[in-house]
Amino acid sequence: AKRSGRDQVARYDGAAKTSVTPHRLEAEELRHAIEAGEITPVYQPVWDISREGEPVLHGYEALARWRRPDGVLIPPAQFIERAETAGLIGALGRSIFRQAMRHLRGARDRRLSMAVNVSVRQLVAEGFADEVLADLVEIGVEPARLSLEITETQAMEAPELSLATLRRLSAAGVSIAIDDFGIGFASLAYVRDLPAAELKIDQRFVSGMPDNGKDRAVVRAVVELAHSLGMRTVAEGVETPEQLALLREVGVDLVQGYLLGRPQPAEALMNLGPLGEDE
Ligand code: C2E
Ligand code: CA
Ligand code: CA
Ligand code: CA
């Protein structure tokens, strides 16, 4: 680890001599990391609580992690936005997506699904839907096992452009989920018109449960809205048994959170297969 640390320093020094700005350098480092396969998904289990009894494993959400050669693990908050501004989110997103689909293909349980986060910049890029569908065919995963998550705020950025792409993906069987629902500005008309199958209730509403009556009321209302539009609800950030009990009581369909499982690499998960060779 020490040696790669020194290599890093050497690279910075070398670049500084050719007067590359730190801004530019970071983008280059990120580009290299994507190409070198240093950015990989970890997987958090998603549980179905819509039936009586213990939660049933529904699938996983893929969450990006940058494992630097020096062993440092960098969370997505530190590189996703950078990838977006550097024009690298297409390559990064596709790499995460393909890795997640290859892990899913190796799963013994063919009913398991996989949720992958998508940035609006990917969504509005020409040919995004075709690329996703072609990758699914090539890797061998049925579209119905994939859920694409787009944040409420981002979905509002380019409503017309993204709508056509989302409709095309949805028509092919891919589930669309509106992430971080409740903290953005999506109008009800927009939610109504989106071909989304799931609303993901942001964890800040969950964290107030069960003590905060207002949070409880919001979650209850979102569940009602979703169900009356024929959508499912997913609650994220479930950390306590009390929260889980209450979410069940108000009719939330799916949950994820530290209480039921932290994000882990595929190797640590019984239910996901090996990555296999890239084809
Ligand atoms: P998100 O999609 O809302 O993901 C949920 C975040 O909450 C994850 O953080 C997850 O690790 C964390 N989390 C899960 N359970 C709990 C819990 O019980 N308590 C608490 N406090 N946190 C919990 P993470 O992995 O750091 O990801 C942060 C955000 O980065 C994600 O938020 C997503 O918007 C973005 N992101 C992650 N991977 C990708 C990716 O491949 N592409 C894109 N475009 N965005 C990504
Ligand atoms: Ca998400
Ligand atoms: Ca979220
Ligand atoms: Ca193979």
Q: What does the pLDDT look like over 108-119, one tens digit per residue? A: 899 999 999 999
Q: Has residue 7 got a pLDDT over 50?
A: no
Atom of ligand 1 nearest to the CA of 118: 44
Cβ of 180 less than 6 Å from ligand 1: yes
* Residue 200 Cα to ligand 3 middle (Å): 7
pTM, to two decimals? 0.90
Residue 66 sits at φ, ψ, to 5 deg, of -100, 110
- Report whether 73 contacts 65 (CB < 8 A): yes
Across 55-66, average pLDDT: 97
- Report whether 225 contacts 204 (CB < 8 A): no
DSSP 203-241: HHHHHTTTT-HHHHHHHHHHHHHHHHTT-EEEE----SH
For residue 180, count other CB atoms closer than 10 A to its CB. 19
Q: For position 17, what pLDDT does the model report?
A: 43
Q: Has residue 254 got a pLDDT over 90?
A: yes
* Residue 7 Cα to ligand 1 middle (Å): 31
As a whole number of Å, the end-to-end CA separation of the chain is 31
- Angle among Cα 133, 171, 203 to the nearest 5 degrees reads 85
Which helix (H) or strand (E) covers residue 61, if one does? strand 56-67
Helices (H), 64-151: 80-85, 89-105, 120-123, 128-139
Q: For position 22, what pLDDT does the model report?
A: 52
Q: Has residue 95 got a pLDDT over 90?
A: yes
Ligand 1 binding pocket mutation candidate from 63, 150, 238, 254 (most atoms within 8 A of CB): 63
* Residue 131 Cα to ligand 4 middle (Å): 19
Q: Which two tokens stand for residue 39?
A: 């950015």
| pLDDT tens profile 149-202 | 998 888 777 777 788 999 999 999 999 999 998 877 777 888 888 888 999 999
Q: For position 89, what pLDDT does the model report?
A: 96
Cβ of 69 less than 6 Å from ligand 1: no
| pLDDT tens profile 8-51 | 433 333 333 444 455 555 889 999 999 999 999 999 999 999 99
Q: Which two tokens stand for residue 223?
A: 């569940």
Pairwise CA distance, residues 264 & 270, whole Å: 11
Helix pair 128-139, 159-171: axis angle to 10 deg? 30
Q: For position 1, what pLDDT does the model report?
A: 37
Top mean-pLDDT range of 10-14, 74-78, 96-100: 96-100
